[in-house]
Amino acid sequence: MEALGAKRTNDMDASTIKKNYSKLGSALIEKLYSTDYLSIGGNESTDLLANLAGITTNSCVLDIGSGLGGPALWLAETRQCRVTGLDLVASNVEEANDRAKSRGLDHLVNFECGDATVMDINSASFDVVWGQDAWCHIPDKARLIVACSRLLEQGGTIAFTDWVETKTMDNARRAELHEATASTNMATITQYSSYLEEGGFSILERSDISSTFVEQYRAVIERLEGFKSEITDQFGNKVYDIMMAKNGAILHGFEGGMIGGCRLVGRKL
């Protein structure tokens, strides 16, 4: 079988994501977020979503936007389920596979490089499609949800958290936040709900978790401030200033109610 997505739907968006999540970029983000994670919340958020999704030893999960492997590795380790991770960035995929092998989890989890909207994989191959704060980077959300539906067996579960737009913004503020988050097209919770319903899902869980994201991102800024000497010594003041500007803009967006977080779980009808 060909890799899970050899084509690219938008070269400009792909280029932006690869730049933001380069090997160095991912390492610095992981340092601020949590070991193995390029999403906030870490294992606690993974466990919460996994409980809502009903993931068990018998589950076969597709993690779209798997990053360095945090959620997939944790699910395989704690629930002994099979997980396939899909990510657009080759260096993330290589690192995640190395981590799976070093922890003796490669019999349960593997990572592949590809575009989530053009996956070359058989229909009804999974009983859970999963995403953790990653789908904001995918421009065509409606197309993504259709792809997820095709890959799920009847009665299968879609479960994800994501960063969403929660307030109308002027073009300048939206551009600032989209640049800081490497997201060119954030959805709203309402839009995600519509995409799910139009894609043939019944919605089991729909939660606005923006307040949680505010607290989690305040902790990110505190960690960044604590790492200032280490980062400047290793990479220089310019890198630290860029990190603070981007992450400060994100925190301001969360605190100002312009962006937030959602948790959605649905069942394929």
Q: Give the domain CATH number at 194.
A: 3.40.50.150
* Contact in structure between 140 and 118 (CB atoms under 8 Å): no
DSSP structural state of residue 188: P
Residue 91 belongs to a domain = yes
**Distance, CA of 265 to CA of 159 (rounded, Å):** 4
Nearest to 261 by CA among 157, 156, 173, 165: 165
Q: Which amino acid is at 110?
A: N
CA dist., res. 183 & res. 231, Å (int):
25
Helix (H/G/I), strand (E/B), else coil: 163: strand
- Domain hosting 149: range is 11-164+186-213+262-268
What is the rounded (10 degree) CA torsion for 122, 126, 132, 136? Answer: 30
Give the burial class of 11: count Cβ atoms within 10 A of its Cβ; 0-12 exposed, 13-18 middle, 19 or more buried.
exposed
In angstroms, the CA 76 to CA 213 distance is 25
Rounded Cα–Cα distance for residues 112 and 28 (Å): 22
Residue 5 resides in a domain: no
Q: What's the total number of domains in the chain?
A: 1
- Residue 178 falls within a domain, yes or no? no
pLDDT tens across the length of the chain (269 residues): 233 333 334 554 777 787 888 899 999 999 999 999 999 999 999 999 999 999 999 999 999 999 999 999 999 999 999 999 999 999 999 999 999 999 999 999 999 999 888 877 777 789 999 999 999 999 999 999 999 999 999 999 999 999 999 998 888 998 899 899 999 789 999 999 999 999 999 999 999 999 999 999 999 999 999 999 999 999 999 999 999 999 999 999 999 999 999 999 999 99
Rounded to whole angstroms, how far apart are CA atoms 239 and 21?
15
Structure tokens at 257: 């109610």
The answer to the question of residue 47 being in a domain is yes
> 111, 113, 160, 97: which is closest to 134 by C-alpha?
160
CA–CA gap between residue 163 and residue 263 (Å, rounded): 9
237 belongs to a structural domain: no
Question: Does residue 243 belong to any structural domain of this protein?
Answer: no
> Checking DSSP bridges between strand 201-208 and strand 259-268, what pairing results, if any?
antiparallel
Residue 236 falls inside a structural domain = no
Q: pTM for the whole thing?
A: 0.92
- Residue 9 phi/psi, 5-degree rounding, is -85, -25
Q: Is beta strand 109-113 parallel, antiparallel or unpaired with respect to 82-87?
A: parallel
Tell me if 2 is assigned to some domain: no
